[in-house]
Amino acid sequence: MEPNDVIKAQLMDAQDLERTLNRMARQIVEMFNLDESRASSFALIGMQSRGVHIAARIRQIILDVDGIDVPLGILDATMYRDDFRLRFKQPVVRETKIDFDIDGRDIVLVDDVLFTGRTTRAGLDALTDLGRPASVHFLVLIDRGLRELPIKADFVGKRVPTLPGEEVRVRLSEMDDKEGIWLVERPFNANNERS
């Protein structure tokens, strides 16, 4: 958790997370009729930073259960954000690593939380600059509502209606010291900004 977070509820524990990822992997295999031959016209692309680990876990499940090795890419949409003028310090630009041609592929874009839809919009723009996929579908672990753009997810781990003052914290063992998803509240700081 971040400093000052007040935990309101745990949304998923490690076991829930595993079950949800397994279910979403099944949905993907079914929806795209994935088999060895289809794998070359399909790809999972994880959005920095936690979407990358979620996409990697789903890829591993599909490899273990179905024996299909699907390509995996990493996308950073920082350069495409629209809140540029609202920030004082620039966010860190992280790596984009997509070692395959995305033209003509069915892409599943993966992120941890869907909130306003602005990050997704930035991700779609970033993807468009890299090529022209046959289709883009969107997978999130948590859809917390409060959209500001007309964007929806195709694969949703859990829908959780939230309030503007709340935050969803996804914690993954690959990069955090715990595993699970929590709903927290953040107090306002002196500048009337969420800290």
Residues that bind other proteins in the complex, under the rule CB under 8 A: 76, 78-81, 84-96, 125, 129-131
Buried b (16+ CB within 10 A) or exposed e, 147-180: eeeebebebbbbebebeeebbbbbbbeeeeeebb
The residue among 5 and 18 lying less far from other proteins, judged by its C-beta, is 5
Least distance (Å) from other proteins to the CB of residue 83? 11
Least distance (Å) from other proteins to the CB of residue 102? 11
The residue among 38 and 94 lying less far from other proteins, judged by its C-beta, is 94
**C-alpha gyration radius of the chain:** 17
Nearest to 46 by CA among 17, 72, 27, 20: 72
Least distance (Å) from other proteins to the CB of residue 79? 4
Least distance (Å) from other proteins to the CB of residue 144? 25
The residue among 35 and 95 lying less far from other proteins, judged by its C-beta, is 95
The residue among 97 and 159 lying less far from other proteins, judged by its C-beta, is 97
Neighbours of 42 (CB within 10 A): 20
Exposed/middle/buried for residue 33 (C-beta within 10 Å: 0-12, 13-18, 19+): exposed
Q: Please report which helix (H) or strand (E) contains residue 127, including its range.
A: helix 118-130
